[in-house]
Amino acid sequence: MKHPLTIGIAGLGTVGSGLLSLLEAHGARLSQTIGRKIVIGGVCARDRERARTLGIEALPWFDDAIELARAPGIDVFVELIGGDEGVPRAAVEAALKAKKHVVTANKALLAKHGATLAALAEANGVELNFEAAVAGGIPVIKTLREALAANEIQRIYGILNGTCNYILTKMQEDGRPFLSVLGEAQAKGYAEADPAFDIGGFDAAHKLTLLASLAFGTLPALDAVYVEGIQTISAADIEAADELGYRIKLLGVASRTPSGIEARVTPVLVPRNSAIAQVAGVTNCVAIDGDFAGSLMLIGPGAGARATASAVASDILDIAHGGVLPPFLTPVAQLRPHIRADLSQHQGAYYIRLSVVDKPGALASIAKRMGDQGVSLESLVQKKPKSGTALTLGAPPAPVILITHPTNERAIRSALAAIEQDGNVSERPQMIRIEKL
């Protein structure tokens, strides 16, 4: 058997504790599989005295993650601290400079500094692996780096945040409003006390940044991702979408277009009978369209101690087997700049919900504004106002649902701006893209 593979683990929260549990359960078997014993050469965390399900008393303790990253006996530095600056960044850089392999679950760090860290790993001939940074236990990074490496990827998209998917699922199943379900998600631990990073779409944007870089051979470009969250999705939207044969999902989508890469995280309508519409609760999924392999979809747990620890362990085992791949598959020097597509030229159909005021000619004016921009309507449904009465003189604003034929985003936004300016709606129009799957 070869000399042991010694790992140092910085961060003993949910994922770090899950990794210790996995190694305790399967360490002996994994050592036999790879022909090398896996040894924990050191651990580091913010609070040494914190109660943990697994004892760490027998493990070498480091007060400083950077010191652990540089420790002479460490072969693989596992960064599970989180955050894009400060200690996690300094520790990863220290490990790479010391010619240590690095495994991380830190999507924020890689989305912001991935190119710099990848270049450092390549210069020192070591691995920078990050399977756990995207979609938890789903092996999407390995799929892109290895299984689909011979393909030209046309599009990659998916449900990349379990918190948002849980909220939208429960709104659909229970007919409850957003804030009610958000409170339940927080009580169950699916959402943080401050949920903005999740429900605002930013968590998914970090993940999509990494997927787009791997899929298209471009430099990671977080700033190029257009982001909308799910805060504006109402029970009325969920109900209307269902009646029209759709489900609402928060998707991260990156695709090649003639003008560049369109990367966006937004709520979208997907056909109710599509596979992605059936992905419920906190489950994640990633779909990949390759030119030779065709369309693939990977579905599984996107977070949690066990699933994410599984992904971390997979990266460690890859290192144990030997061989070094560029972190983003293409060497950093050959990664192309990310040319951002003009989202105003996005082509597709749209769902529009309007709260139309009670005045003569309002609907005719709305239709005219759409026609002025060349927007053709597939359907227009006037629903009863909340009072249950029909749209008559003096009635409250009535919900009107429009579905457009494919058009471009500039046209639809211009039409909606004009409709607002005309005073024919009582609140800002709701616009949701319909995703062609």
Provide the pLDDT for residue 395: 64
pLDDT confidence of residue 394: 53
pLDDT band at residue 14 under the 50/70/90 scheme: confident
Q: Please check the confidence at residue 261 and state whether its pLDDT lies above 80.
A: yes
Mean pLDDT of the chain: 92
Per the listing, tokens 């700049």 go with 337
What is the pLDDT at residue 388? 46
Binning pLDDT at 50, 70 and 90, where does residue 256 land? very high
Query: Is pLDDT at 2 greater than 80 in this prediction?
Result: no
Count CA within 13 A, CB hemisphere, residue 89: 13
The SS3 assignment for 115 reads: helix
Q: What angle do CA 24, 54, 313 make, to 5 degrees?
A: 40
The CATH number of the structural domain formed by 2-133 is: 3.40.50.720
> How confident is the model over 33-84, as pLDDT tens digits?
888 899 999 999 887 767 666 777 788 999 999 999 999 999 999 999 999 9
Residues 3-17 have a mean pLDDT of 92
| d(C-alpha 117, C-alpha 367), whole Å | 52
- Listed range (51-55, 91-95, 285-289) with the worst mean pLDDT: 51-55
pLDDT of 110 above 60:
yes
pLDDT of residue 47: 76
Q: Which helix (H) or strand (E) holds 407?
A: strand 407-408
Please give the Cα distance from 298 to 174 (Å, whole number): 27
* CATH-assigned architecture of domain 140-301: 2-Layer Sandwich (3.30)
The three-class DSSP label of residue 13 is: coil
pLDDT of residue 52: 62
For residue 147, is pLDDT > 50? yes
Q: Which two tokens stand for residue 187?
A: 């009580």
Residue in 81, 78, 79, 1 with CA at minimum distance from that of residue 40: 78
pLDDT of residue 389: 43
pLDDT for res 392: 47
* pLDDT tens digits for range 309-344: 999 999 999 999 888 889 999 999 999 999 999 999
Mean pLDDT of 249-265: 96
Of 207, 368, 383, 436, which is the active-site residue? 207
Domain segments of the chain as ranges: 2-133, 140-301, 345-434
Instruction: Please tell me the pTM assigned to this model.
Output: 0.93
Give the pLDDT score at 282: 92
E-strand stretches of 141-210:
153-159
Is 188 annotated in the active site?
no
Percent of the chain beyond pLDDT 70? 96
CATH ID of 345-434, from 3.40.50.2300, 2.40.50.220, 3.10.150.10, 3.30.70.260: 3.30.70.260
Rounded distance, CA 60 to CA 69, Å? 13
Alpha helices in 256-407 (DSSP H): 305-321, 362-372
Q: CA–CA separation, 434 vs 128, rounded Å?
A: 37
Q: Is the pLDDT of residue 391 over 50?
A: no
Strands 36-44 and 226-227: unpaired
